[in-house]
Structure 1
Amino acid sequence: MAASTSNVEDIKLRLEEHLANLGFEIHPLKVGWYNAVLPPSLRLGHRDDRLAVLVLSTPAMFEEAFLPFVEDADCQSLSDPVDQCVRHCVSSAVARCFAGTEVEVSYDYELLPSRKPRFLAQTAAHVCGAAFYYQQADVREQPWGHKKMFGVCVHPRFGGWFAIRALLVFGGVTVDSEMLQPDPPDCVPSREGRIQLLEAFNLHWQDWSYRDVVPPVQVYSQRQKDYFSTRPAQRVALLRTWGFLSRGSQAAASCTEGVC
């Protein structure tokens, strides 16, 4: 199936119909945009002209999707309630919208047998224009010497108050040349601002300050902050104190990247 720009927009709209009101954003991209910036060992195993879609969660996801999910779900064997909620929402949308279509879904927490991630979430967000991935190399005359500073994505509307959740690859959908790659909004253009961002993320991520590097239109609710500030192994117990999950559930939550 060859997809024109209008076909891509239709795919995006169909996913948004099921996911936008649950607090998710949808961003189409070409596989080639992603593969072009990575070495062969990290590229997706799909042709460069195939369509992919990145799924982000916004602050609204916690109240609109996650809490209703844990209220209704049988969480006896859950390893991470948020991961299971995202999987449920995304897989349900794909099944409803694209039954019989070849769609490979990768989640941010999944690893290959080599222990490498199924996809590099922040790279995908940058190349599709969803969020700017600020890295150490983006700072002129770096002040850190040989110290490694990990990069972080900034969303133009939510700052750091969002998460990258899943990548969908439509194996049978070939994108034509009309689909142009958008540039991610450079929300932190100054050297000083980028230094402040990377230091806040690497050295003080627990205080949430890096997330406010640009004025966000929405942030995590206090309940959501409490959840992600709680040690992963204690999150199910916290949900129980809020009246969610059964008292008999022995699930232990974990956040694979440390930042959610």
Structure 2
Amino acid sequence: MDSSNRSFIFFVAFQCAFLFGSQAFILKHHPNYTDIISVVRKALPRDSFEFYDFKIGSYNALVDPKFHLNYHENTTALSIFMIPRVFEESFVPYLCETGPCAFNNSWTKFTKYYMTKIQMKLWEELSYYIPDKGILYPPHMLGPRHPTILVETAGHVAGGAYYYQRKDITDDPWPKNKTIYGVNIHPLYGGWFYIGPVIILEDVTCPFQEEMGSKDVLIDEAKKIELLNLFNEEWQNQKWRDIICVTKNYTEEYLEYWMTYGEGRTKWVAKYHDKHCPKE
């Protein structure tokens, strides 16, 4: 039996044990925060992912009470970012290994693959368990207009990418009844990245954790207005992503993937797989 199969069986057995009687042991184990971060870093390819930590209280302070996360204010969470090379370096290898099972809802399955990997590694190396409910995926909804997590705010609070919103504009140029959606900008990649899930480290509290906050890379208000106009009015031309000079962006194939929707994306992924993945 290879190591991947052993890991999978071990993880399934652990979940069963947790559900049927081993809760006391698991909940009493509180590993070191630094050790957790080290394991997460090893589980995620550096050329594909970034992650940033924040305190639940800092997130709750910025969102409407109906979006509050019901954890202690000093509980630590991680905001997961997928950066420009994630498609070529991680998604494609995953697609080739998984095959047709990954064609439908491919990005969701790819994301969950790596979140499950984090869960497994933390348990195997530190005996630290993150339940499925502790991983909040976008855009999962609790109800109409009620996402489980506002990933844009989480990414902003965590210091990964500044969240530009209408409320930050002093001289508002838009009609009062016009909806203006906000957007995050990464200091290196501009808009060429994706904010993924938030992982709650439920038993890890860091009351003295230093939070840097996201870097405002658009000091000039006119530039912020330009960004919001581009994102809200001309988002399909992708110009908003290059509001700053970037170090990396998406390949044509990765952008085509994102610009293909619904059943069309499933067919696109199947065609891409047949063309680029080695035949057995």
TM-score range, shorter chain: 0.7 to 0.9
Equivalent residue for 2:15? none
Structure 2 residue 263 is the aligned partner of structure 1 residue 233: yes
Query: TM (normalized to structure 1)?
Result: 0.86
Question: Highest CA radius of gyration, 1 or 2?
Answer: 2
Equivalent residue for 2:22? none
Equivalent residue for 2:82? 57
C-alpha distance 115-76 of structure 1, shift in aligned 2 (>3 A) = farther
Structure 1 stretch 103-112 or stretch 25-34: which is displaced more? Answer: 103-112
Q: Distance in 2 between matches of 1:186 and 1:64?
A: 29
SS at match of 1:97: helix
Matches within 5 A, 1:4-23: 7-21=32-46, 23=48
Shift of 1:71: 1.4
**How many correspondences in the alignment?**
241
Equivalent residue for 2:110? 85
Contact 1:78–1:84 (Cα < 8 Å) also in 2: no
Q: Distance in 2 between matches of 1:157 and 1:13?
A: 23
Q: Distance in 1 between matches of 2:234 and 2:63?
A: 29
Shift of 1:91: 1.3
Equivalent residue for 1:191? 221
Shift of 1:113: 4.4
Matches within 5 A, 1:1-260: 7-21=32-46, 23-76=48-101, 79-99=104-124, 100-103=127-130, 104-113=134-143, 116-146=146-176, 147-177=178-208, 179-244=209-274
Q: Distance in 2 between matches of 1:74 and 1:238?
A: 13
Contact 2:81–2:196 (Cα < 8 Å) also in 1: yes
SS at match of 1:176: coil
Greater helix proportion: 2
Task: Give the partner amino acid of 1:161.
Answer: W
Contact 1:102–1:170 (Cα < 8 Å) also in 2: no
SS at match of 2:149: coil
SS at match of 2:119: helix
Q: Distance in 2 between matches of 1:44 and 1:10?
A: 24
Unaligned runs of 5+ in 1: 246-260
Query: TM (normalized to structure 2)?
Result: 0.80
Contact 2:48–2:84 (Cα < 8 Å) also in 1: yes
The one-character-per-residue Cα deviations of 1:146-193 (angstroms, maximum 9, x if unpaired) are 22210000011110001111111111112132x111121001111110
SS at match of 1:54: strand
Structure 1 stretch 49-58 or stretch 235-244: which is displaced more? Answer: 235-244
Shift of 1:114: 5.5
Unaligned runs of 5+ in 2: 1-28, 276-280
C-alpha distance 65-102 of structure 1, shift in aligned 2 (>3 A) = same
SS at match of 1:242: helix
Percent of aligned positions that are identical:
26
